[in-house]
Amino acid sequence: MAKISILLVGLWLLGSWTGLLDAEYMEYKDPKRSIDTWVEDLISRMTLEEKIGQMLQIERKYASADLLKKYFIGSVMSEGGSIPAPQASAETWINMVNEFQKGSLSTRLGIPTFYGIDAVHGHNTVYKATIFPHNIGLGATREPQLVKKIGAATALEVRATGIQYVYAPCIAVCRDPRWGRCYESYSEDPKLVQAMTEIIPGLQGDIPDNLPKGVPFISGKEKVLACAKHYVGDGGTINGIDENNTVIDRDGLMRIHMPGYFSSISKGVATIMVSYSSWNGVKLHAHHDLITGFLKNTLHFKGFVISDFEGIDRITSPPHANITYSIEAGVSAGIDMFMVPKLYIEFIDDLTMLVKNKYIPMSRIDDAVRRILWVKFMMGIFENPFADYSLVRYLGIQDHRQLAREAVRKSMVLLKNGESADKLLLPLPKKVPKILVAGSHADNLGYQCGGWTIEWQGVSGNNLLKGTTILRAVKNTVDPETRVVYKENPDVEFVKSNGFSYAIVVVGEHPYAEMHGDNMNLTIPDPGYETITNVCGAIKCVVIIISGRPVVIEPYVGLIDALVAAWLPGSEGQGVADVLFGDYGFTGKLPRTWFKTVDQLPMNVGDPHYDPLFPFGFGLFTKPTKGFYSA
């Protein structure tokens, strides 16, 4: 009996000690401590395996709660168009994100994960989200405070789906419109791009005055982590070829392509994404001087640097030819988090080997993890790891659609208005017998929104988006007695024989993204020019160009009575009608030079050979004319 008692006491003592160990004080969980203390305490407890896991961001298709737990994965992401279900609701997105989070929180140290997505003109992957104009259109508004509001609205809609991190803004300075990402650039002018970094405090919140420069900041559960991209010179590649080589001296790089990063860092941007491209032949993903030397050591950027999608694979040609070399080059250059969507086990094994064999010092791993953890603590995800269902109501709300409509009308650039000042066509009269609306882009929300909308390359048609086409906007605006006739590509006889008072022709580019949009001739697809010729050769017409950049239009300008650059306006086409019919005036200015012929390219404001069709900053103004009803 005594032996049994001693045994029971021993088991009780063992259990007590286990309980004490379980209740061990952990500084990183003490709310009274500073972020620096939390980070250092947590890093001190982490194994190499846990540290390498934090450096990974994997694609949702290849992720699960169990997998995040097993490999200690730091982040999950959606590549372009990657969704949990067709037309997924906000709740479906939240359920997915929270499920991943459960896996992360069940690890030994309970380090939460965050989820990243391309929200580059609103929450553009998500069904029923508000789609704002692409950046080139926002550049035409010249209104940084408007862009800040768009950032705040986008943050709310992203948080409505449980997501905490967006790959925006793109602060590329597009120097050649042949580049397929030119519409993601606010302007060819670095000063205008700099001004538009005001979207960052919209996304993340206003940085406190007492925060040291370079420290990332996010102000709460209604804000998201932003990402300035693509570092650096992505918009300056030869002939605008995507992911290619930017040939420019250091002074030119600093003067043209770097200013947006100066502003982004001063506004507390949390992350910076590295460009696929090269600078003078050296891949940016392997560029120690620019990433560690300049960005981290000279500019004192304290957030984390993230690779682009499979970015380290493309250090070699062909991609993934020597992944061990690419991992060593990328980590050594100073990249902290790596988008390795699928082959993450290979990354873990190779990086583990590189560290254990002292090819990469542990201090470099600790620098990466320290930065990632700092951002995670700053954003409050340790205290509030799960998504808040109460924000679901913000997805696609009317206030955001009204903001998008305002952005659309302010982004419209009037390039021509009649043959002379006393023969203006715009604003159009609302009350006339009959109007012709023509063109491939008049009744197509997908075309209106462009690439990076629902899918990576965009979509066509009206079924997958909620919004207002330009045709619908015209019908909404004209007098009830005015008959609106839509014919996509009418012949001359139809135009002449139907007694139209005037025509609105809406044509332009089909959606594209990244290298799929690289285009050496910059003509619009057939039958765009035929539609312009058939309609404008017969009756008074206004031509609206839907495009991600200037396109060839010079041969047709003489035929056209009024010409509008509408860029890629997004879901709220009513903003186009707002200015066409005079409810508001045209105020937009060209954010980039409109060339005469592609042979002139590249051609930017200030160049010695500058001879544009319409110069940078050009835009005709009109005044609002409420109640303007007769022709």
Tokens of 280: 């003078």
Query: Strands 114-117, 165-166: parallel, antiparallel or unpaired by DSSP?
Result: parallel
CB 621 within 8 A of CB 416: no
Residues contacting residue 350 through CB under 8 Å, at least 6 positions apart: 323, 324, 327
Query: Which sign does the torsion angle of CA 233, 329, 59, 150 carry?
Result: negative
* Closest CA relative to residue 166, chosen from 101, 227, 82: 227
How far apart are the C-alpha atoms of 413 and 427, rounded to whole Å? 13
- Give the separation between CA 335 and CA 389, rounded to whole angstroms: 34
**How many Å apart are CA 115 and CA 99, to the nearest integer?**
12
Tokens encoding 329: 């080059």
Continuous H helices in 160-295: 190-195, 199-204, 250-252, 259-266, 288
* Joined tokens for residue 53: 């896991």
Per-residue CA distances from 186 to 83, 107, 169, 172, 443 (Å): 27, 42, 10, 8, 26
Question: Catalytic amino acids?
Answer: 308, 514
What pairing do the DSSP bridges indicate for beta strands 434-438 and 483-487? parallel
Backbone angles phi, psi at 217, to 5 degrees: -145, 135
Query: In three state form, how does the secondary structure of 500-536 look?
Result: CCEEEEEEECCCCCHHHHCCCCCCCCCCHHHHHHHHH
Coil/strand/helix, residue 27: helix
Q: How many Å apart are CA 519 and CA 512, to the nearest integer?
A: 11
**Closest listed residue to residue 225, CA positions, set 234, 216, 238, 212:** 216
**How far is it, in rounded angstroms, from Cα 566 to Cα 563?**
10
Token digits of residue 61: 């298709």
Are residues 441 and 470 in contact, defined by beta-carbon separation less than 8 angstroms? yes
The secondary structure of residue 604, as a DSSP letter, is -
Structure tokens at 119: 């929200």
Rg (CA), the chain: 27
Q: What share of the chain is helix, strand, coil (3-state, %, to 5)?
A: 40, 15, 45
Distance CA 451, CA 421 (A): 37
Nearest to 335 by CA among 394, 270, 290: 290
In degrees, rounded to 5, the angle at the alpha carbon of residue 534 between the alpha carbons of residues 531 and 539 is 115
- CA triple 510-511-513, angle to 5 deg: 140
Query: Alpha-carbon distance 33 to 39, whole Å?
Result: 10
Residue with tokens 């069709």: 613
